[in-house]
Amino acid sequence: GAVVSQHPSRVICKSGTSVKIECRSLDFQATTMFWYRQFPKQSLMLMATSNEGSKATYEQGVEKDKFLINHASLTLSTLTVTSAHPEDSSFYICSAQTSGGPSSYEQYFGPGTRLTVT
């Protein structure tokens, strides 16, 4: 099946700094990628939808100036958490959607990035 990678897998940063998380589709092109956040013992919550070459669409309550998303190519989307605070500590997961072919519009998930803000 299609493979999605995330980097880094874990990151610890100080409060006030920015952190960039990369999401790559390794063997397919993804015009659409999604970013989710998951707090401990909770389900995945959609943060934003990232479309290649256009601005991301953010879910209600998600600050677009704090969570910057760039989908510059068909295989890479980045999420930058700006001026991170301890409450931003979470598990961030991306998914990439295939576009065309036998598995049209299926979603494949990355392994997640554990962010800890101290």
**Quick one: which of 29, 51, 82, 116 contacts other proteins (CB under 8 A)?**
51
> Rounded to an integer, what distance in angstroms lies between the CA atom of residue 84 and that of residue 99?
33
Reference 46, options 93, 11, 9, 8; nearest CA is 93
Residues contacting 95, CB < 8 A, separation 6+: 4, 33, 34, 36, 107, 108, 109, 110
6 vs 75, beta carbon nearer other proteins: 6
Min CB(103)–other proteins separation in Å: 10
**Using the rule CB under 8 A, is 49 a contact of other proteins?**
yes
Min CB(46)–other proteins separation in Å: 5
> Rounded to an integer, what distance in angstroms lies between the CA atom of residue 92 and that of residue 90?
6
5-44: contacts with other proteins (CB under 8 A): 6, 32, 34, 36, 43-44
Tokens of 84: 């991170």
List residues near other proteins by CB under 8 A: 1, 4, 6, 32, 34, 36, 43-46, 49, 51, 91, 93, 95, 97, 104-112, 114
